[in-house]
């Protein structure tokens, strides 16, 4: 059911990042949004191969109404455009996924990937520098040794904070097809990367080898019927991972069962409803994202029109199904023609797993409360609603009557879509990307 | 008695035929616009197109130089019309291949 809402939601706009002009360069299109494990840092990636990291400021005790803001912490070029001369193919620098490693020391580590190469980045702070060298002046000029009469010990003096990002590992040449997912294992030593036909397992320390754990490439490519669309490690069991397919199924694999996990341990697939079968059935059933709950008990899948929550103990059908934008069923023809039917929407869980959210078109995003069975449609817009003001919920109607905060299906702007979303792991703050802007929303505290 | 039953069954059949799911209605619309669309859309054609995301740009320096040598006395046909299709008979020139430049600018999110 599309949200009714009593008008006002619990959410308010907190911040908007990025340019507000209409002229959007390809490079500025955001392609990844990810909070780190503490929620202190928020990373975004774009089609230009750049990563921008925001940091939550220390809480301002005098203003308890506003949670701390996110400000730029570091920005760097993660991937560059490349050309594969052997195959005459361009390799886009677009960042497909960012995944943070749990923090082990003062530095922060993240994995970022484009279509072909994964990189491990170290983001560290420097707030001291050595001063008082014997052979060098402060400006770097060398002193003549004969001018020295005494010796001194250099000491560390405070300096303006500098945040440095350096590539620590480059994991290359392991994927023939385009990488769509990376996922860090709970063992904090390994991670997986998945492309259209294969899933590989890496050890974070070794870049010269990778183990193939799933291979669905048919002997004859003419027989290809299914590709891998998303993959993730279980948050607690280091031997378990899942991968979703373009046919709407999710396979759970156990790495203890065999070295090559082509045989799944569990197959999650909802039987098709024959009465709604059409040309579009398979395309709209394609899994665009799969995410485990924080508890590890459930798994959420996103396909073109719905969000499904699965209990890992039951493969036959999901325990909950939420309609994201069912009104699009009557627009599938034009969505196929403009390629929107292939849009890959992500989804995310709230920290306590009680709510889930995902994006839609017209810069709408949808939030679903699991217990109360309530859902809401909100708009990411810097025009309507000032920071701190609660957002009004929207309705999409198929009829001709228009109430306030209602919009007709035919008026939806399919070029404005929210594909990437991330929920703060502890607080009720969500980050999402419209085409070229990053939006932060937070829940009203009272 | 029996004729009444038959009529109501017919009526039911008609109702079922006209009540078509929205997806099916959209499919009919699509097939009307593209009559040659394959029967199995999710099959290999679609997937292979997906797998090959990213245009292949052929530039073989050997072919290019051979063509240049052959055409020394003839004028090279203007390539302007077919800038997007660089494959097959048309020998691409370096000017045809769009330049990929690295982003030197900082992201606008960082301001």
Total structural domains within chain A: 1
Residues in chain A with CB shorter than 8 Å from the CB of B107 are: 28, 44, 46, 48, 50, 52, 75
Distance CA A296, CA A125 (A): 33
Q: What is the pLDDT of residues A34-82, one digit of tens each?
A: 999 999 999 999 999 999 999 999 876 555 555 679 999 999 999 999 8
In a domain, A37, yes or no: no
Distances (CA, A) of A397 to A325, A406, A408: 11, 7, 5
Nearest-Cα distance to chain B for A4, in Å, is 23
Residues in chain A with CB shorter than 8 Å from the CB of B26 are: 278, 280, 329-333
In a domain, A58, yes or no: no
Residues in chain B with CB shorter than 8 Å from the CB of A330 are: 22, 25-26
- Return the pLDDT at A4: 42
- Return the pLDDT at A139: 83
Residues in chain B with CB shorter than 8 Å from the CB of A50 are: 103, 106-107
pLDDT, average across residues A137-154? 87
Chain A residue whose CA is closest to B52: A177
Minimum-distance CB partner of B103 among A50, A90, A222 = A50
- Return the pLDDT at A3: 41
Q: Is A258 on the interface with B (CB under 8 A)?
A: no
CB A212 within 8 A of CB A127: no
pLDDT per residue of chain B (111 residues) written in tens, 0 to 9: 444 444 455 555 544 445 788 999 998 898 888 887 765 555 556 676 677 665 566 666 776 677 777 766 454 454 444 444 445 556 666 566 666 665 567 888 888
Distance CA B45, CA B66 (A): 35
Confidence of residue A138 (pLDDT cuts 50, 70, 90): confident
Question: What is the DSSP secondary-structure string of A367-394?
Answer: EEETTT--EEEEE--SSSS-TTSEEEP-
- Return the pLDDT at A66: 57
- Return the pLDDT at A76: 96
Nearest-Cα distance to chain B for A162, in Å, is 15
The pairing of strands A406-408 and A395-397 is parallel
Distances (CA, A) of B23 to A249, A331, A332, A344, A410: 20, 8, 7, 20, 17
Residues in chain A with CB shorter than 8 Å from the CB of B86 are: none
Distance CA A143, CA A309 (A): 69
Residues in chain B with CB shorter than 8 Å from the CB of A89 are: 54, 56-57
Q: Which residue has the tokens 């569990």?
A: A266
Q: Is A88 on the interface with B (CB under 8 A)?
A: yes
Residues in chain B with CB shorter than 8 Å from the CB of A80 are: 102
Q: Do B109 and A52 touch (CB under 8 A)?
A: yes
Q: Do B107 and A48 touch (CB under 8 A)?
A: yes
Minimum-distance CB partner of B41 among A224, A279, A330 = A279
Lowest mean pLDDT segment, chosen from A194-208, A384-398, B23-37: A384-398
Nearest-Cα distance to chain A for B61, in Å, is 11
Q: Do B26 and A30 touch (CB under 8 A)?
A: no
Q: Is A179 on the interface with B (CB under 8 A)?
A: no
Q: Where are the alpha helices (DSSP H) in A197-352?
A: 281-285, 332-337
Domain range for A320? 11-16+84-102+173-443
Q: Do A329 and B26 touch (CB under 8 A)?
A: yes
Confidence of residue A386 (pLDDT cuts 50, 70, 90): confident
Distances (CA, A) of B103 to A28, A48, A179, A203: 10, 6, 21, 30
Residues in chain A with CB shorter than 8 Å from the CB of B57 are: 88-90
CB A28 within 8 A of CB A46: yes
Distance CA B80, CA B93 (A): 11
Q: Is A195 on the interface with B (CB under 8 A)?
A: no
Q: Do B44 and A87 touch (CB under 8 A)?
A: no
CB A166 within 8 A of CB A121: yes
Q: What is the ipTM of this complex?
A: 0.74
Q: Is B59 on the interface with A (CB under 8 A)?
A: yes
The pairing of strands A89-91 and A50-56 is unpaired
B104: Cβ–Cβ under 8 A, 6 or more apart, which residues?
A: none
Q: CATH number of the domain that A429 lies in?
A: 2.130.10.10
Distance CA A44, CA B110 (A): 10
Distance CA A170, CA A204 (A): 10
Higher-pLDDT residue of A280 and B35 is A280
Q: List the helix and strand counts (H, then E) for chain B.
A: 4, 0
Kindly list the domain boundaries of chain B, sorted by start residue: 13-56
Q: Is A211 on the interface with B (CB under 8 A)?
A: no
CB A12 within 8 A of CB A440: no
Q: What is the pLDDT of residues A80-115, one digit of tens each?
A: 998 887 887 889 999 999 999 999 999 999 999 999
The pairing of strands A298-302 and A82-84 is unpaired
pTM for the model: 0.86
Q: Is B42 on the interface with A (CB under 8 A)?
A: yes
Largest CA distance in chain A: 94
Nearest-Cα distance to chain B for A337, in Å, is 9
Chain B residue whose CA is closest to A46: B107
């Amino acid at each position: 059911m599309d949200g009714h809402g009593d008008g006002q939601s619990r959410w308010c706009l907190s911040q908007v990042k990025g340019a507000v002009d209409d002229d959007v360069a390809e490079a500025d299109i955001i392609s990844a949004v990810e909070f780190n494990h503490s929620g202190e840092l928020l990373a975004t990636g774009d089609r230009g191969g750049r990563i921008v990291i925001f940091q939550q400021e220390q809480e301002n005790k005098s203003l308890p109404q506003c949670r701390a803001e996110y400000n730029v912490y570091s920005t760097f070029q993660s991937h560059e455009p490349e050309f594969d001369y052997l195959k005459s193919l361009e390799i886009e620098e677009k960042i497909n996924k960012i995944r943070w490693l749990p923090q082990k020391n003062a530095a922060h580590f993240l994995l970022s990937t484009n279509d072909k190469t994964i990189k491990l980045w170290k983001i560290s702070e420097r707030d001291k520098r050595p001063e008082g060298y014997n052979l060098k002046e402060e400006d770097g000029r060398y002193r003549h040794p004969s001018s020295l009469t005494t010796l001194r010990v250099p000491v560390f003096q405070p300096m303006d904070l500098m945040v440095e990002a350096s590539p620590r590992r480059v994991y290359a040449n392991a994927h023939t097809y385009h990488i769509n997912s990376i996922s860090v294992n709970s063992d904090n030593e390994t991670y997986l990367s998945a492309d259209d036909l294969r899933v590989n397992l890496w050890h974070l320390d070794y870049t010269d080898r990778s183990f193939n754990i799933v291979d669905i490439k048919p002997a004859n490519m003419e027989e290809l019927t299914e590709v891998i669309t998303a993959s993730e490690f279980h948050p607690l069991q280091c031997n378990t991972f899942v991968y979703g397919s373009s046919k709407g199924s999710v396979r759970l694999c156990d790495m203890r069962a065999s070295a090559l996990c082509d045989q799944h341990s569990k197959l999650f697939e909802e039987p098709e409803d024959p009465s709604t079968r059409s040309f579009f059935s398979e395309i709209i059933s394609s899994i665009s994202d799969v995410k485990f709950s924080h508890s590890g008990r459930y798994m959420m899948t996103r396909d073109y029109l719905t969000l499904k929550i699965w209990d890992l103990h039951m493969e036959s059908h999901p325990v909950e199904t939420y309609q994201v934008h069912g009104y699009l069923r009557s627009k599938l023809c034009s969505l196929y023609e403009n390629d929107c039917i292939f849009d890959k929407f992500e989804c995310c869980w709230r920290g306590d797993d009680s709510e889930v959210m995902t994006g839609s078109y017209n810069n709408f995003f949808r939030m679903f409360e699991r217990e109360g069975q309530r859902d809401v449609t909100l708009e990411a817009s810097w025009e309507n609603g000032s920071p701190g003001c609660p957002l009004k919920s929207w309705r999409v109607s198929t009829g001709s009557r228009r109430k306030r905060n209602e919009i007709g299906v035919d008026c939806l702007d399919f070029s404005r879509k929210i594909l990437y979303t991330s929920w703060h792991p502890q607080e009720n703050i969500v980050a999402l990307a419209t085409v070229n802007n990053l939006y932060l929303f937070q829940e009203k505290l009272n | 008695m029996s004729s009444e039953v038959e009529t109501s069954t017919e009526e039911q059949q008609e109702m079922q035929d006209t009540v078509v799911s929205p997806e099916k209605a959209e499919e009919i619309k699509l097939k009307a616009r593209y009559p040659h669309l394959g029967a199995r859309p999710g099959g290999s054609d679609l997937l292979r197109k997906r797998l090959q995301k990213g245009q292949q740009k052929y530039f073989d320096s050997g072919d290019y130089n051979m063509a240049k040598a052959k055409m020394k006395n003839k004028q090279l046909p203007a390539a302007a019309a077919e800038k997007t299709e660089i494959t097959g008979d048309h020998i691409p020139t370096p000017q045809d291949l769009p330049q990929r430049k690295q982003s030197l600018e900082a992201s606008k999110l960082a301001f």
